[in-house]
Amino acid sequence: MTRILAIANQKGGVGKTTTSVNLAASLAATKRKVLLIDLDPQGNATMGSGVDKNAVDHTVYEVLTKKCQPATAIVDAEIAGYQVMPANGDLTAAEVELLSEIGREYRLKKALGEVSKAYDFILIDCPPSLNMLTLNALVAADGVLIPMQCEYYALEGLAALMNTVEQIQETVNPNLEIEGLLRTMYDPRNSLTQDVSRQISEYFGDKVYRSVIPRNVRLAEAPSYGMPALKYDKTSRGAIAYLALAGEMIRRTEDIKKKNIPEPV
């Protein structure tokens, strides 16, 4: 069973791309087959995976606009250990082109139907806004992973995202769930961090991952070398934290599979 997860938060700078790249690498390190879809026109997840966004022949833009088949746009991120459907500045035009199209919010879902069986996990790195690209990701996904900093304004942004998820559940994707909330750039010495973390845990309960991602220099440095932290410095606190998150996610996925197995007659 393939798990398709949108990594989303309309607030920028919370670690969406860092999480997408490093979680993909950590899952791949456990011998899972992983596809990372870069749905942000900045193409940071593409570059952070060691793929030159300006040198690829096809991107997710052509997939969404039906100018190429999904499999054609997938490339190997050899250093990172997984595959990527890359993005670059061309993707900005997709929103405008899709505005007049019927069923535009289903484009990514239909495209993934052609390739999803080849993977254990498909991660979608969403742009920092609730636009047509993010909508496509949420329609295609089984779950939403929400990275967030433990600060006051994060709670405001979280409320807006939760409203969007509820609307999508009611209209176009009733199977969409909150996969989990991930606390990023975590500093336990900060009292505000602890206060916000406590509020999140009280409200969302076991939807909050036990794993937390610390502020870590190696995590910040790795993208400039075009590789996940696990490949840049596997002993770093950031790399270890994402490996722990991958393990937690795999356990949750196994639990979901068990629940879906019918009882023997």
Mean pLDDT is lowest, of 130-139, 175-184, 197-206, for 197-206
Residue 261 predicted with pLDDT over 80: no
More confident residue, 96 or 228: 228
What was the pLDDT predicted at 262? 59
119 CB neighbour count, 10 Å cutoff: 21
What was the pLDDT predicted at 10? 84
What was the pLDDT predicted at 49? 97
CA-based nearest residue to 35, from 20, 50, 16:
20
pLDDT, mean over the chain: 92
What was the pLDDT predicted at 199? 86
Single pTM value for the model: 0.94
Q: What's the average model confidence in pLDDT over 232-243?
A: 96
**Residue 192 confidence class, pLDDT cut points 50, 70, 90:** confident
Domains and CATH numbers, the chain: 3-128+135-258 (3.40.50.300)
What was the pLDDT predicted at 150? 82
pLDDT cut 70: percent of the chain above it: 97
- Which whole-number Å values give the CA distances from 197 to 14, 23, 85, 137, in the listed order? 14, 21, 33, 27
Q: What's the average model confidence in pLDDT over 193-199?
A: 87
Residue 76 predicted with pLDDT over 70: yes
Q: What's the average model confidence in pLDDT over 242-254?
A: 92
What was the pLDDT predicted at 154? 75
Q: Cα separation of 50 and 229, whole Å?
A: 12
Residue 264 predicted with pLDDT over 90: no
Mean pLDDT is lowest, of 1-15, 85-99, 189-203, 237-251, for 189-203
CA-based nearest residue to 179, from 248, 94, 113, 76:
248
- What is the arrangement of strands in the sheet containing 121-125, beginning at the earlier edge strand? 75-77, 82-85, 34-38, 121-125, 3-7, 143-149, 177-186, 208-214
Residue 160 predicted with pLDDT over 90: no
Provide the Cα torsion 14, 17, 18, 19; round to 10°: 90
Residue 256 predicted with pLDDT over 80: no
Strand partners, 146: 181
CA-based nearest residue to 83, from 117, 121, 128, 43:
121
**Residue 153 confidence class, pLDDT cut points 50, 70, 90:** confident
